[in-house]
Amino acid sequence: MTFAALWRELEPFGRDQGTGGYRRYSWTPADAECRAWFTRQAENLGLTVEQDRNGNLWAWWGSRRSGAIVTGSHLDSVPDGGGYDGALGVVSALAAVEQLKARDFYPERAVAIAVFTEEEGARFRVACLGSRLITGAIEPASARGLRDDDGVTLAAAMTAAGRDPSLLGPDEDLLARIGAFVELHVEQGRALAPMGAAIGVAMSIWPHGRWRFDFAGRADHAGTARLADRNDPMLPYASTVLAARRLAGERGAVATFGKVIAEPGGANGVNSAVRSWLDARAADEETLAETAAAIRSAAADAAAEHGVTFEASRESYTPLVRFDEGLRDRITGVLGAAGITAPVLPTAAGHDAGFLAARVPTAMLFVRNPTGVSHSPAEHADLADCEAGVHALALVLEDLAGRP
């Protein structure tokens, strides 16, 4: 099937009719539909699909036990995410393998397409959970105990989906099979469009953390409680949001409160608690740590001012990633020889490639996003650029897997 035909088939799964955004959360029916679709497509291409102990899918072309060239991405989404984040890498991988098969390419090294679980951390709050587990970047016991907003643990969600969570953990046998990993991804941000380039290559990923900020006060009546008598957790929360913006801006970092839950959340009541999540990123780990500490301290001061208690905990952390320079140069060389100028870019978006990079030579290809908008139904890439991405990925796989 062509890229466009594959895209059309995957498009409806997990899409909210009202917003047009995707709600593909791990171990839900939408996730199961995506997994079943991928498995079908990979098997149609003659690949052998396996699920690893951490719930990631691997579609193998060739059975060699080491040196495999792996591509792929993820199929889960943020709440009301765009269609391209993750899915573009998976669909492009299928289309690239199809192109290689159509031209009778013989892979000297095995080629595999990986689909990683819970890359966004949208359900269980830890980003890149599947790749973190494989590489030992999270303890299996802590992963099993992660809870979604309804209190369902990852272990329970996996069991309900027919998986055995006791198997979770580092997968050295699988890692030993991988010679290189190349993830294709829609560009997040807008660097390629002004350069007139359809394809980019990743240089590094900014370090990234998520913190939970809990403010607890006292529920009260919105009409009768005198302002001076209130312990309203919404007030320190609100000033923390503004402080985060200022403190990050001063340091060239970014900080976002993208999720907030007010409890009990009545329109005519002062809340008893506000639970919120800070996402902060910076070009280096020191700046990130300093930014997060400054925001925490601003939150503690604001809470004290309003007679509210404050607690913070870090839920997810990803260190700075620098991709393998040798692999990157080889890829830009292969693309250059085919007349494709691919600028080398840093990114502030997280990726499974970041975790794989700690263990195997890893690279990323970006496909131009004309507006730069991502994690939004407005995320977009033109079909011609997606096709250019498939072409570039096929060239890279051909080069990497074509030699023993």
Query: Can you give the binding site for ligand GLV, defined by CB under 6 A?
Result: 120, 127, 349-350
| Nearer residue to ligand GLV within complex by CB, 78 or 192 | 78
DSSP labels, 283-340: SSHHHHHHHHHHHHHHHHHHHHHTT-EEEEEEEEEE--EE--HHHHHHHHHHHHHTT-
Cα 186–245–250 angle (5° rounding)?
Answer: 100
Cross-strand partners of 298: none
Cα 209–213–219 angle (5° rounding)?
Answer: 165
Q: What share of the chain is helix, strand, coil (3-state, %, to 5)?
A: 35, 25, 40
| Nearer residue to ligand GLV within complex by CB, 89 or 350 | 350
Q: In the complex, what is the shortest distance from the CB of residue 88 to Mn ion, in angstroms, rounded to a whole number?
A: 9
Q: In the complex, what is the shortest distance from the CB of residue 120 to ligand GLV, in angstroms, rounded to a whole number?
A: 6
Spatial distance between the Cα atoms of 274 and 356, rounded to a whole number of angstroms: 36
| Nearer residue to ligand GLV within complex by CB, 349 or 392 | 349
Which of these segments, 82-90, 152-160, 201-209, 378-386, binds Mn ion (CB under 5 A)? 82-90
Q: Which two tokens stand for residue 98?
A: 């199809």
Residue 350 interacting entry, from Mn ion, ligand GLV, none, C-beta within 5 to 8 Å by type: ligand GLV
Where b means 16+ CB within 10 Å and e means fewer, 270-309 reads bbbbbbbbbbbbbbeeebbeebbebbbebbbebbeebebe
Q: In the complex, what is the shortest distance from the CB of residue 225 to ligand GLV, in angstroms, rounded to a whole number?
A: 38
Site string for Mn ion, 333-352 (x = CB under 5 A): --------------------
Burial of 94 (C-beta count, 10 Å sphere; 0-12/13-18/19+): buried
Which of these segments, 80-88, 133-141, 233-241, 325-333, binds Mn ion (CB under 5 A)? 80-88
Cα 76–184–396 angle (5° rounding)?
Answer: 150
Where b means 16+ CB within 10 Å and e means fewer, 147-177 reads ebeeeebbbebbeebebebeebbbbeebeeb
The answer to whether 110 and 62 are in contact (CB under 8 A) is yes
| Nearer residue to Mn ion within complex by CB, 123 or 306 | 123
| Nearer residue to ligand GLV within complex by CB, 236 or 350 | 350
Residue 86 interacting entry, from ligand GLV, Mn ion, none, C-beta within 5 to 8 Å by type: Mn ion
| Nearer residue to ligand GLV within complex by CB, 134 or 273 | 134
Q: In the complex, what is the shortest distance from the CB of residue 290 to ligand GLV, in angstroms, rounded to a whole number?
A: 20
Residue 111 interacting entry, from ligand GLV, Mn ion, none, C-beta within 5 to 8 Å by type: none
Residue 89 interacting entry, from ligand GLV, Mn ion, none, C-beta within 5 to 8 Å by type: none
Which stretch of DSSP H or E encloses residue 396?
Answer: helix 383-401
| Nearer residue to ligand GLV within complex by CB, 9 or 315 | 315
Nearest residue relative to ligand GLV (C-beta): 350
Residue 127 interacting entry, from Mn ion, ligand GLV, none, C-beta within 5 to 8 Å by type: ligand GLV
Residue 379 interacting entry, from Mn ion, ligand GLV, none, C-beta within 5 to 8 Å by type: none
The 3-state DSSP class for residue 373 equals coil
Spatial distance between the Cα atoms of 95 and 1, rounded to a whole number of angstroms: 7
Q: In the complex, what is the shortest distance from the CB of residue 81 to ligand GLV, in angstroms, rounded to a whole number?
A: 9
End-to-end CA, the chain: 28
Q: In the complex, what is the shortest distance from the CB of residue 180 to ligand GLV, in angstroms, rounded to a whole number?
A: 22
Q: In the complex, what is the shortest distance from the CB of residue 23 to ligand GLV, in angstroms, rounded to a whole number?
A: 15
Chain positions 84 to 103 lying near Mn ion, rule: CB under 5 A, are 85-86
Q: In the complex, what is the shortest distance from the CB of residue 188 to ligand GLV, in angstroms, rounded to a whole number?
A: 7
Q: In the complex, what is the shortest distance from the CB of residue 71 to ligand GLV, in angstroms, rounded to a whole number?
A: 18
| Nearer residue to Mn ion within complex by CB, 21 or 86 | 86
| Nearer residue to Mn ion within complex by CB, 79 or 169 | 79
Spatial distance between the Cα atoms of 332 and 218, rounded to a whole number of angstroms: 58
Spatial distance between the Cα atoms of 383 and 389, rounded to a whole number of angstroms: 10
Note the residues at the interface with Mn ion (CB under 5 A). Answer: 85-86
